[in-house]
Structures are given as structure tokens and as C-alpha cells.
Amino acid sequence: MPRLLDNYTFDARTRYESHRLIYTPENDEPIEFGGFLAAAILAALIVDTDEGDAREISIDTPEQRQAFFLRYEREVRRDNGGLFTTEVQALSEAYMELEGSDETLALLCRNERLYDLAVGLTVEYMQRLVHELVCDRIFDKEPWTGPFAQWLFNAGFVETRRQHLLSVDWTDPAAVYALSEELIHNESPESLEPTFIFEGLSAEQVLNGYWEWLWGEAQKEANLFPDAKVQLAQIKQIILKEETDYEFIKPEMKHFTQEQINLFRAWMNQWIDFVKEKIEPPVSTRKKDLRQELFLDNISPIPPEHNYVEVKKYILERCRYDQEFKKYFRAHKMTEMCRQLSFLFGWEVDDNALGKRMRSKAKK
């Protein structure tokens, strides 16, 4: 069976050879370029033909295109293909060979539908490489690290680069050439400008995501000691002190614009209110005689905040293997159980919401 990118001659003027597309205009010098654009034109021209079927080219669905991309990367591995930098440079060189005009490219693709197919494949593949590089969410690219002010500072610069790459128009030769030059010379004109609005995430999602990580780390640390309850109480106070003080980062913000400073402060003000409420809930929600009697283990994960379906699963699952937990659950009212769960999870568990969820199966 022929490979996806085996050599192929279209006509006397056009051929695909050694992972490069070679086209010789009438009375002119040959045009030669490689990279994914060349492979996309090859695929567009022979898909749904006997040759395309022999090479098992299918590119109609997202799943088929993903499989096509993987096959391409395997076959160009020895050419160092399939890497973001390599493919950007190859696309830039292709545009220069084509003189930045759609006319030659359109001529190569034979008709509008095949042109749209080849260009569409190229754009989708380049966007795929971008997402692999910058990740779908900022905290996947810039992992959580404490305190929040330091993470926010670091993430602001990473996000600038993320948004720059996510916004590249892959059909614009000038934009692709400029990016190629940045990569060749390892330059980024945006590197000094932080961005504090994170693509695809609300402020609430960022704060909750950081808190879940922070609280999980605190519980892991406390559970290393036999007096986990005492340790967690001490860690809470350390968290409150470290997470509400961001004076240490202010000298590093001297090059920020006033708008950037104001946005950073707005983030920190919201975060400080958020973490104080988590560590020290309002007095009205606490009882003077309340003490923690249940503690986390290393088996059942903490449910997401306000997800009472997962809280119910947590209770039922833990009752199966933890007899002390089961005994407490059966012997206490829902309000008391919710107070203990609030200690465990680090967020306020509402007894009405949980009670309704626990009774939902019986109603059915």
C-alpha cells in the first residue's frame, strides 16, 4: 500500500516529490515548497480518486482530519516536520515562493472547492499545532504556583504570547512571515506587555481553579502528620497571610501601564475577598462549639464546589469503606453532616441542597 506522502505526478508541470510540491509555470522558473501546505494540496487533488483511495485519504470529518494530521507527522518526522517552528517556517517559505498571491495557489488547486479544502486543512493543522503549544487553558500552560499574586504575574506574560499565537491569520502571508522571523530570532515584541484577561476563562473559574489546587495541596501536607487537624488549622493561617500580601510583587510591576496595574489590583482585591471567605467564613455560618470530627483520606477526591451530585457520590462511596464515616453519617442530622463536609471540602455545603439530592433517588 502506498504511503500518504509518496511521490506523485499530477501533470507535466506539477508533481509532489520528496515531501515537496514542484510546479513549473509556463516560461518561468520552477516553484518549489514543502511543509503541510504542500501535503494539503496533494491530498485535496487526489482525495476521492483511485490514487487517494489507495493511500486511504479521508478528510471529511474532524476525526478523519485528525488521523490525517497524525499520518502526516509520522511521515515527515525524519525531515523534522510536524513541529510548530518547522511548519511555520515552511508555510512562510511557501507563501514567498507563491509571491504572496492566491492566483498561483488557486491555479495549483484547480478549482474553488479544492482550493478551500487545501487552505482549510492548512489552517486547521496550524491551529492544532498552536493549541498543542499554548494549551487550551492558561493554567495548563502556566501551572498553579503560590502565592496567587506570583502566579497571576507570571501568567499575565504567558497569556500575552498565547493570545498572540491564537490570533494568527494563517491565510495572511505577511502575518506568517512576521511570526516566522520571531521564531527564527527568538524574539517576541509583546513579551513586556502582560495580559490579565485569560482566553476562554472567567475570573470566577480562575479563582476557583486556583483555590481547589491550593486547598488540595494544604490537605495533602496536613495529612502527612498524625495531628492532621492541628496542622491544617496552622496551614490555614499561613495561607491567609501569604495569599493576602502582594507587596513583594509590586516592585516588579514598575514597567506596567496604569491600566495593567489597575487590573492586577482588581484581581488581587477579588482574590483576597475570596480567600478570606474560604479560610474564615462569616460568623453567622459558624458555631462556637463546632469542631471538626471528620477528616479527608487519600481515596475519595474532593467534589467540585456546589456540585451536590458529586457530594452525594462522595458520601455513598466513603460509607462503603470507611465505617467511622458511615457511623457518623447515620448518627447525625444533615445540618451537622454538612458542617463537617464544609470542613473537609473547604467550601460551604448547604444542608437543604444536599438533603434534596440525597432524597432524589427515593422520589424516583
Grouped pLDDT means (10 residues each) for the chain, 364 residues = 94 96 91 97 97 97 98 96 97 90 86 97 98 95 97 96 96 95 76 88 96 96 90 92 96 94 96 92 52 85 91 94 93 92 88 90 49
CB 294 within 8 Å of CB 340: yes
Task: Please tell me whether residues 153 and 269 are part of one structural domain.
Answer: yes
For residues 273 and 319, membership in a common domain is answered with: no
Distance (Å, rounded) from C-alpha 306 to C-alpha 350? 8
Are residues 141 and 227 located together in one domain of the fold? Answer: yes
Query: Looking at the structure, do residues 144 and 247 belong to the same domain, yes or no?
Result: yes
Whole-prediction pTM: 0.74
Same domain? 270 vs 145? yes
d(CA 340, CA 87): 55
Q: Which of 107, 134, 161 lies at the terminal end of a domain, its last residue?
A: 134
Q: Are residues 231 and 191 in the same domain?
A: yes
DSSP 61: S
What local confidence, expressed as pLDDT, does residue 122 receive? Answer: 98
Q: Are residues 160 and 250 in the same domain?
A: yes
114 lies in the same domain as 15: yes
**Measured between alpha carbons, how far is 223 from 231 in angstroms, rounded to an integer?**
8
Q: What is the pLDDT of residue 286?
A: 47
Is 287 part of a structural domain of the chain?
no
CA 320-322-327 angle, to 5 degrees, is 95
Specify whether the CB–CB gap between 117 and 44 falls below 8 A: yes
Domain span at residue 316 reads 308-363
- Helix (H), strand (E) at residue 23: strand 20-23
Instruction: Based on the fold, state whether residues 129 and 143 are members of the same structural domain.
Output: no
Confidence at residue 106, expressed as pLDDT on a 0 to 100 scale: 92
Residue 123 near residue 170, CB atoms below 8 Å: yes
* Domain assignment present for 256: yes
User: DSSP of 151-198, one letter per residue?
Assistant: HHHHHHHHHHHHHHHHT--TT-HHHHHHHHHHHHTT--TTTT----S-
Same structural domain, 241 and 346: no
Residue type, 156: G
pLDDT for position 340: 92
Residues 39 and 121 in one domain: yes
pLDDT at 100: 58
In this structure, the answer to whether residues 110 and 246 fall within a common structural domain is no
Which pLDDT value is given to residue 101? 62
pLDDT at residue 26, rounded to an integer: 85
Cα distance between residue 35 and residue 79, in whole Å: 10
Cβ neighbors of 350 (< 8 A, separation 6 or more) are 306, 308, 338
Number of domains comprising the chain? 3
pLDDT score at 345: 87
Which of 280, 300, 333 is a domain's end point?
A: 280
